[in-house]
């Protein structure tokens, strides 16, 4: 049979653990309240993207274009989903997506540049 001291000790440990979980949950809610604000500020500016990304159409705006090296059928990207374009450019910049020419181009872009170019291209609609 457990003594009153042992029961209180176990109860206080459970209470302390629950209190810690409650604090972590409140902290998580407080942090998540700010996420929509930071995500909204990450949205690209299509007008700025037009001046930053106009050279993209030199390859990605030509029907049936195949570059010389590496031999690759260049996709038309006007109207592509913005999130896809952001992810692709970030992957090229990080060199986790293979294509030497795109890696070199993306290496020069900031996160803001990528967001702006993606916003502009996606707003163009499929051409």
CATH number at residue 67: 1.10.760.10
Same domain? For 11 and 31 the reply is yes
Same domain? For 53 and 31 the reply is no
Comparing 30 with 90, which gets the higher pLDDT?
90
Residue numbers of the domain that contains 24 = 4-39
DSSP letter for each residue of 42-109: TS--HHHHHHHHGGGHHHHTSTT-EETTTTEEPPP-TT--HHHHHHHHHHHHHT-S--HHHHHHHHT-
Same domain? For 20 and 79 the reply is no
Same domain? For 16 and 73 the reply is no
pLDDT reading at 34 higher than 90: no
pLDDT tens for each residue of 63-82: 888 877 767 789 999 999 99
pLDDT at 65: 86
pLDDT at 39: 40
Same domain? For 79 and 102 the reply is yes
pLDDT at 4: 57
Same domain? For 84 and 29 the reply is no
Count: domains in the chain:
2
Contact (CB, 8 A) for 66 and 72: yes
Same domain? For 92 and 54 the reply is yes
pLDDT reading at 21 higher than 50: no
Query: Average pLDDT of the chain?
Result: 78
Structure tokens at 59: 């390859």
- The four Cα atoms 74, 75, 79, 85 give a dihedral, to 10 degrees, of -80
């Amino acid at each position: 049979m457990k003594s009153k001291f042992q029961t209180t000790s176990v109860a206080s440990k459970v209470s302390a653990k629950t209190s810690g979980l409650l604090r972590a949950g409140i902290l998580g809610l407080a942090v998540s309240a700010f996420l929509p604000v930071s995500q909204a500020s990450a949205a690209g500016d299509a007008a700025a993207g037009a001046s930053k990304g106009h050279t993209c159409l030199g390859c990605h705006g030509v029907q049936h274009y195949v570059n010389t090296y590496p031999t690759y059928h260049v996709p038309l990207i006007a109207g592509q989903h913005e999130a896809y374009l952001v992810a692709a450019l970030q992957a090229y910049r990080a060199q986790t997506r293979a294509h030497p020419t795109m890696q070199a181009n993306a290496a020069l872009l900031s996160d803001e540049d990528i967001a702006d170019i993606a916003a502009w291209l996606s707003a163009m609609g499929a051409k």
